[in-house]
Structure 1
């Protein structure tokens, strides 16, 4: 078992990662909270026409569009960068990822702190500032996922804490806005962002002093490593060139390495707890109905399938709807409710509900994903998204509050369900590339928000209903197609797997398979010379949620 010192170090790493994810992973999604501050400070006010200034409009058209574009750039960047983050993580490790993230957060804070001064000389510091704040988030958030491997029996809880911290980090700007209002604007953005530099400095320091340079391995990866060590321990072609003493020393060294890996597996899982964990994961894999459908295929092959095309289209539409709503909630409800004061109340409720909803929904999301098939989960997503779309077009206060309550629960469920789908369908071998590409493409399409803004203000005179209706219909069509496809494939896969299980049972009964059990992970090998020889398979493994 692990030493007390190692245990405490791992616990400290997880705790600190949750803290800095809470402070910096998703701050840009608190845009709805900081937007009123930026408007009051006159950001982009100089783009208003003389007529708009004379009429003293609260927010002119160009000001609204540019502020929303700032958020659009951030939202797109957060998603697009998911692809290169995986590459950096694989090549340089989580520590370097965290350091990059801290530097990006620092750059964003400095740009924003001095944006008011830069504006006087004709330089826009707001968009690059928000861009770098957005860029830093994925680097510190995604690079923290591997810490769930420090306590495999609690990996779900650790990932839930990370996700909850990410969702709750949007409240940072809410707290700032409250401080800004309490000081009547004295605590203006420059002061806040200079103080906020403490966060990237903290992240940088803990990466150097505490966080691991290399990612912690999953049990499955350790088992594979142990397998390789076992294979080279038995024989090696180059050993014949060595003396008997050298061969013996080499065999001992290999055996020590193998035993070290096995010891690590045992210390992570424990015998009873590990076997229970494996059984739970196997049950979840069976319930999903689609687990393993494209495992073993290359990323290129997976990308050319209907599985990829439909989930990408679904993600593009839903992510556009989510980010468009976050960016435009106040003007939408100002038009629908016919009252600026009512829109402010709705906006204030949303600012509190968004981070709170993410935290509250964590245990329910886990239960939904673990106890329902993937097709049923996708059906639930489509149903809730449709309800949100309908409520978003009803011009009543009760509908606004109901819409927000559904939205703040739907958002984390949607993000988790998409990553869960990717892990189960495509597998972890290609997860970074395929899931990263899905999110990257969805992020690029988020530039449509600027076009939707222009359409709402210039064509529909500020009425959000036509654009919301178009998004609702697009989401419904793509969603129904995805649910139908996954449901029909799940049924055919179930029949195929039943036939395969019958065949495997017949082969096992012939005595052609031996097994070794390491911490609950059973490794089956075909006997040499038998007709069933082939690569090792893991008796009960399934991916967790990404």
Structure 2
């Protein structure tokens, strides 16, 4: 019965070593392409809005007096246009929770396919709003916001295709998400130069190619199960060993010759895992060498075997969630209020508009530039160092946003912001993958994003506070958000550092990373004897 249960559990495991290298590369490339074209397009609304205004969207909401005055955008039209983005921004974060549940239950292929359907429906409604009884464009934009997380979150597991480069792969996916906001900038350029040929309807009908590509990729290329982390593969190897021992009539005695007693299946799995971690050494037949990307990080995999409820109730979840709520509120609040903020902070009337135009261009560009640097940081650094840099960057951005009458500080602020934003999003997903694993990744990461989305509802009260009570002065709000983020982030970084130091003390007897193949069986047997050490990269806990 135990063996049968183990086999059932094994069906959830997908090791990257089971898939050819070229196919894994193709899967990553396809995911980056469709995330670039669909994952976060709703955040490029600033570039889409002029097209909507040019084509008279919601112009029917203007009064006769406003039309006679020839205003570019009337008040009701402006409110309705802004509502489109507000709904999309909230929906994008909130729907991450159901996406995560579907991902954990059905694997990545199903949410990817569902996302393509939502995106296709959004494009059809946006192109033909008159055929929908309600507001077709608002509904279509909301469908884009729903479809984006389905295709984006379901791609995160691809970071396990090449564990040595997991950080780089995650940063590529997050960079594609950030750069996808440039799609509507491209639409605006084409629309402006086509002399009326490329209308909104034409552009979004052409865009239907994208959801078709996503669906085809899910059916023909993407795996039905998420790739497992190294820790999950090691747990699978342990279960395989326990199964074989059970079938042989009992557990083997743990002696100095224990390695020789291990089952061939177990030895083969360990060999495959080692080969996956270090391709060059496996090809040359040499022993596993020390690699900075795989230096022991005691926090790696610390809750991989815990239930989703245990993970959600742990300090690991609570601290990262509090920081994410505050930081995502700060990020989206800055994006939506950058122009009025710098109208107050800068003395020259033309400077805020120039800064805003530059920001629209820098926002997608920042994600593209940051990709390799984020990948290097995540692959070469331990979790405490990654989080320390995260909190430091957040605090620096907040301080720069409080400096008035300084154009250099304003340029420095937006430049650092567009680089920091993709780092922030990537670190949160990387943290969830490293600490919680991919068996519960959808639920845990989805809940973090869901709660952060609820936090975005505070944007309206902050707007009211700034405009009506503070008379347009953004500095008090910026100071408050910066201070709250620094405190929450500081507690998170300290907690992870403290656990890191504690584990390093407990696992100080672990040997050099170069002895990984010997230490992996040791780690597994230690855990079976009751001293779980989370199967960290080359070190026992």
Q: TM-score, normalised by structure 1?
A: 0.79
Report the equivalent of 1:245: none
Indicate whether 1:320 and 2:329 are aligned.
yes
Could you tell me how far 1:367 is from its partner in structure 2? 4.5
Offset from partner CA, 1:32-87 (integer Å, 9 cap, x none): 21122222222233334444444433333333333222212222222222222222
Among 152, 159, 165, the residue aligned to 1:148: 159
Offset from partner CA, 1:441-475 (integer Å, 9 cap, x none): 11022233345556666x379x6x43x33431332
| C-alpha distance in 1 between matches for 2:230 and 2:153 | 19
Among 363, 385, 392, the residue aligned to 1:373: 385
Would you say the 8 A contact 1:265–1:518 is kept in 2?
no
Could you tell me how far 1:181 is from its partner in structure 2? 1.3
| C-alpha distance in 2 between matches for 1:400 and 1:356 | 18
| C-alpha distance in 2 between matches for 1:92 and 1:425 | 22
Structure 1 unaligned segments of length 5 or more: list them: 240-253, 509-515
Among 402, 411, 428, the residue aligned to 1:390: 402
Could you tell me how far 1:235 is from its partner in structure 2? 2.4
Would you say the 8 A contact 1:317–1:471 is kept in 2?
no
Would you say the 8 A contact 1:97–1:139 is kept in 2?
yes
Could you tell me how far 1:335 is from its partner in structure 2? 7.0
| C-alpha distance in 2 between matches for 1:186 and 1:542 | 60
Report the equivalent of 2:257: none
Q: Tell me the secondary structure at the aligned position of residue 169 of structure 1.
A: helix
Would you say the 8 A contact 1:24–1:137 is kept in 2?
yes
Among 113, 122, 130, the residue aligned to 1:99: 113
Report the equivalent of 1:268: 276
| C-alpha distance in 1 between matches for 2:69 and 2:466 | 21
Indicate whether 1:128 and 2:127 are aligned.
no
Indicate whether 1:162 and 2:173 are aligned.
yes
Could you tell me how far 1:108 is from its partner in structure 2? 0.9
Would you say the 8 A contact 2:112–2:150 is kept in 1?
yes
Moved more, 82-91 or 338-347: 338-347
Report the equivalent of 1:81: 95
Could you tell me how far 1:104 is from its partner in structure 2? 1.0
Aligned alpha-carbon RMSD (Å): 4.0
- What is the correspondence of 1:196-275 to structure 2 with a 5 Å cutoff? 196-236=207-247, 258=266, 261-262=269-270, 264-270=272-278, 273=281
Would you say the 8 A contact 2:17–2:272 is kept in 1?
no
Change (3 A) 1:498 1:79: same
Among 500, 508, 522, the residue aligned to 2:506: 500
Would you say the 8 A contact 2:320–2:492 is kept in 1?
no
Among 27, 41, 44, the residue aligned to 2:41: 27
- What is the correspondence of 1:100-499 to structure 2 with a 5 Å cutoff? 100-115=114-129, 117-118=130-131, 123-236=134-247, 258=266, 261-262=269-270, 264-270=272-278, 273=281, 280=292, 283=295, 285=297, 299-301=308-310, 303-304=312-313, 308-330=317-339, 344-369=353-378, 370-371=380-381, 373-374=385-386, 376-391=388-403, 394=404, 398-423=408-433, 431-452=441-462, 459=468, 465-466=472-473, 468-486=474-492, 488-489=494-495, 492-493=498-499, 496-497=502-503, 499=505
Report the equivalent of 1:534: 530
Could you tell me how far 1:208 is from its partner in structure 2? 1.4
Report the equivalent of 2:30: 16
| C-alpha distance in 2 between matches for 1:422 and 1:353 | 28
Would you say the 8 A contact 2:171–2:426 is kept in 1?
no
Would you say the 8 A contact 2:107–2:226 is kept in 1?
yes
Report the equivalent of 2:523: 524
Offset from partner CA, 1:340-390 (integer Å, 9 cap, x none): 875554333222211111111223334455446255224313322313422
Could you tell me how far 1:180 is from its partner in structure 2? 1.1
| C-alpha distance in 2 between matches for 1:443 and 1:542 | 37
Could you tell me how far 1:228 is from its partner in structure 2? 1.2
Offset from partner CA, 1:73-115 (integer Å, 9 cap, x none): 2222222222222221222222212111110110111111112
Change (3 A) 1:44 1:161: same
Would you say the 8 A contact 1:523–1:537 is kept in 2?
no
Moved more, 137-146 or 42-51: 42-51
Moved more, 428-437 or 331-340: 331-340
Indicate whether 1:72 and 2:86 are aligned.
yes
Could you tell me how far 1:221 is from its partner in structure 2? 2.0
| C-alpha distance in 1 between matches for 2:44 and 2:431 | 27
Q: Tell me the secondary structure at the aligned position of residue 402 of structure 2.
A: helix
Moved more, 298-307 or 130-139: 298-307
| C-alpha distance in 2 between matches for 1:206 and 1:308 | 33
Could you tell me how far 1:132 is from its partner in structure 2? 1.0
Offset from partner CA, 1:188-209 (integer Å, 9 cap, x none): 2111111000000111112212
Change (3 A) 1:217 1:533: closer
Change (3 A) 1:2 1:348: closer
Would you say the 8 A contact 2:115–2:146 is kept in 1?
yes
| C-alpha distance in 1 between matches for 2:82 and 2:494 | 40
Q: TM-score, normalised by structure 2?
A: 0.79
